Amino acid sequence: MNTIIKSGILFLSIFLFSNFSAQTKTFKAKVEGNCGMCKERIETAVKADKNVKSADWNMSKKVLTVSYDASKTDQKSILKSVAEAGHDNEMFRASDKVYDDLDACCQYDRPDNSKKMAKSCDPKQVCELK
């Protein structure tokens, strides 16, 4: 009987600790792209962060859904990696060079984010949007 109680307390402790230590959060973000190659590139860029649990980019809606460990990474760093791969999103604009190097089928119509970009933004680099 004593062993059963100890086992139960141990199990409960492990369960509670695992829930508190892994703070999984999910977000959705608008990410530009066109095709299956874009989908693979976007999801690969996101999953390069080992703290990302899952990533799925919906091609028709242009929406990226990401689940991640919020105690180890955040939405901003994840979306920056997507821009570094060449895909504009709601927080960052990809550099012109990386965008221009995408295959022709992947070159989406870039949204005009000029009002959201800082005046000091260099188009040769990823730019954070306001």
Fold (CATH) for 24-128: Alpha-Beta Plaits (3.30.70)
Q: Per-domain residue ranges for the chain?
A: 24-128
Q: What is the pLDDT of residues 81-130, one digit of tens each?
A: 999 999 999 999 999 999 999 999 999 999 888 888 888 888 899 999 98
Q: What is the pLDDT of residues 31-64, one digit of tens each?
A: 999 999 999 999 999 999 999 999 999 999 999 9
**Whole-angstrom distance, CA of residue 73 vs CA of residue 70:** 5
Max Cα distance, the chain (Å): 70
pTM (predicted TM-score): 0.81
Residue 14 has a pLDDT of 66
What is the C-alpha end-to-end distance of the chain, expressed in Å? 61
Query: How many Cα atoms sit within 13 Å of 24 on the Cβ side?
Result: 10
